[in-house]
Amino acid sequence: MSSTAKALKVSTSATTIQSIHGLPQDIIADIFSRLPVKYLLRFSCASKQSHLLISDPQFIKTQLNRTNEIEGQDINHRLRYGVLGFGGLPGSLSLSSVNYEASDHSSTELTHPSTNSRFYPEILGSCNGLLLVGLGGHTLVLWNPSIRKSDRISCSYHKYYEDRFRLYGLGYDSSINQYKVVSAVAPIRRHRYGFVDDHHGGMRTTRLHRTKVAVFNFKSTSSSRRVQEVPYKIASNAMAAVVNGAPHWVVSRGGEDDDYVIVYFDFVEEKLKEVPKPRWLDDITSKLFDLGVLKGCLCAVINDGVKGNSEVWVMKDYGMKESWTELIVIPSDCRWSRDKPFGFGRLVPLGLKKNGEFLMVADRARLIVYNPRKNTMEDIMLTQNDRFHGAPYVESLVSPHHHEGDYGIIGEK
């Protein structure tokens, strides 16, 4: 942490505030933009001048941009966190924040909005410090755990269904400075004995080839409209990987080959577009893979069911097929740090630590750290609940109440 940040974080006393306010406004804004969110909240309560600065939309944007720009540098208050969500009972949602740069991988229980739902809540997306939580039915919650603000919206076009193949994504439309939600739902027909998932058990599911996409603008939550009916099949209910403010997923074109492709939702043009996948996957059309984000770059994890290896590829130059680079191969003989076979199926990366270790979610059931030098895995958190999932987020001041014009972090003083 810089010496300025260390000095300012010690106290928010009247003396400290007064000395800071003796500086030019642009210097004050620059200093504040380097501070952790929790200290900005304290300063905001200390004086009207600080409150007005920290609640200013341009300052909030500057603080967020600075956070994203220096990701990975050795500055304590810019560390990324992994948010873990797993609901054991309908209507329950237990959330923790894990500082995965900390040596002990310490976690903190987060205060979350009450669900009061008969459905299982689920984290559906993450973007710039905002989390999208689905509560079932028509209800979605946009939540910033850093400033403890949330807002509910209603999906008036179609419901949030747990028993359908569906994708949700949270992203940013830079053309209008707004956050939006996109939803894609592919209804599936009921078999006599219920639903059959063709990616678990080797059996085929009858799916309708009419994936419907809708977009929701938080500036006017009462209005949503059908964007398009797309020629893709939803491959899995995986969480989107957000790169450049856009959610990315793996979907299928359908047909006999069931070719898997990477798509993202362009919030400006409001349409799905394709991103080239690693070249060597072109000849392996039936292989399903998972997406994540590492150091701001889109990454793909290919799990080889035959060899048992997991390969992590990174697109270093976004949109350029030739820039896909193999980062690591996690061999099937990878062992726990406790010297016993680890055993895993699908891996999704959450982050890359400064020491070269990878934070990952394995089989949606455990949070692990992989050490490529020692070829070992270590559990951070383990649950028997198969609804366990994880989403990366950064601490930010971004308010979920954009549609109300509330860009600040607290009420008027």
Q: How confident is residue 397, by pLDDT bands cut at 50, 70 and 90?
A: very high
**Max avg pLDDT among 85-89, 92-96, 166-170:** 166-170
Question: Rounded to whole angstroms, how far apart are CA atoms 60 and 391?
Answer: 22
Mean pLDDT of 216-232: 66
Question: Rounded to whole angstroms, how far apart are CA atoms 311 and 306?
Answer: 13
Mean pLDDT of 168-195: 72
Question: Rounded to whole angstroms, how far apart are CA atoms 336 and 339?
Answer: 5
| 38 vs 122, residue with greater confidence | 38
Question: Rounded to whole angstroms, how far apart are CA atoms 325 and 346?
Answer: 20
Contact 164, 143 (CB under 8 A): no
Strands (E), 24-72: none
Q: How confident is residue 324, by pLDDT bands cut at 50, 70 and 90?
A: very high
Q: Residue 253: is it exposed, middle or buried by C-beta count within 10 angstroms (0-12/13-18/19+)? A: middle
pLDDT at 410 over 60: no
pLDDT at 409 over 50: no
Domains and CATH numbers, the chain: 3-74 (no CATH), 81-393 (2.120.10.80)
Mean pLDDT of 292-320: 86
Find the range with the poorest average confidence among 8-12, 144-148, 167-171, 264-268.
8-12
Q: Residue 91: is it exposed, middle or buried by C-beta count within 10 angstroms (0-12/13-18/19+)? A: middle
pLDDT of residue 258: 65
Nearest to residue 61, comparing CAs of 408, 318, 393? 408
Find the range with the poorest average confidence among 179-193, 269-283, 317-331.
179-193
Tokens of 134: 């689905």
Percent of the chain residues past pLDDT 70, beyond the cut: 58
